Amino acid sequence: MELFTVAKYIQYFLFSHHRKGHGIHSPFVFDLVTRILMNKSVPDFVQRIESLREKLKSAPEYLAVEDLGSGSSRLHGTKRKISDIVKVSAVPRKYGLLLSHIAEVSGSPMILEFGASFGISTMYMALARPDVPVYTMEGSPEICSVAEKNFSEAGIRNIKLMQGSFDSLLPSVKGLKISPGLVFIDGDHRKEPLLRYFSEVAEISGNETVVIIDDIYSGKEMADAWKAIKNRPDVTVTVDIFRMGLVFFRKGIAKTNCVVRH
């Protein structure tokens, strides 16, 4: 963990509200914390996903990885071991469960993901809402191939995996003319691209849309981008749980930026 991230975590730990909602004045955020962030239920499909994660963690194969975004700060070179990639890039079980709980409540009518990797986070969202399509984008063809195998092995049919750069794929997603219920942004940890993708997402988002941004304190660029997003006039509520930032466009709610222990 970078020194910058450590310093940010100390700040988060000292100033975050209690995870049970104490000290939170916004009724909307209090409901979010008590109904979703505190949700400890574990769906039956979790074991299916975590078994695939363990299989990937022991895989000896190497992939030729094509990075179309910022790349990994912890993995170098174009030849990378599958087990190393999943350990670094896949969301932990705790946050996969959070994604599934939010998808269950807010996933309709469509879920959009930036950065599928091997599909761990994708599967958490897709299995929570098998009734809605999950569009997920991934830049590396070889990583896409592994993700497709995982989706097939898990028996998931509602994932639409798209290979290519986010910039090249976004027009087709916007062309669907569907306001997403949930958007999960991962895969590029640079300020300018993140702000650009967020602006494009904001154009198609509705009052009920939830945008989740991963790794908001992984570096100064991400922290600066997160600050800029919080200050946008169309953003009314943000919830900072340190690893992730949750963004809402709810009309009629007072501007609120809340830091919550999770």
H helix or E strand, kind and range, residue 183: strand 182-185
In the prediction, which pLDDT does 65 show? Answer: 85
Task: Mention the CATH class of domain 3-44+91-259.
Answer: alpha beta
Residue 224 neighbours by CB distance under 10 Å: 13
pLDDT tens for the chain, 262 residues: list them: 578 898 888 888 887 876 666 667 789 999 999 999 999 999 999 999 999 999 999 999 999 887 765 544 455 557 999 999 999 999 999 999 999 999 999 999 999 999 999 999 999 999 999 999 999 999 999 999 999 999 999 999 999 999 999 999 999 999 999 999 999 999 889 999 999 999 999 999 999 999 999 999 999 999 999 999 999 999 999 999 999 999 999 999 999 999 998 8
The Cα angle at residue 85 between residues 112 and 168, in degrees rounded to 5: 35
Scored b (16 or more CB within 10 A) or e, 31-52 reads: ebbeebbebeeeeebbeebeeb
pTM exceeding the 0.85 threshold for the entire prediction: yes
Contact at 8 Å (CB) between 227 and 257?
A: no
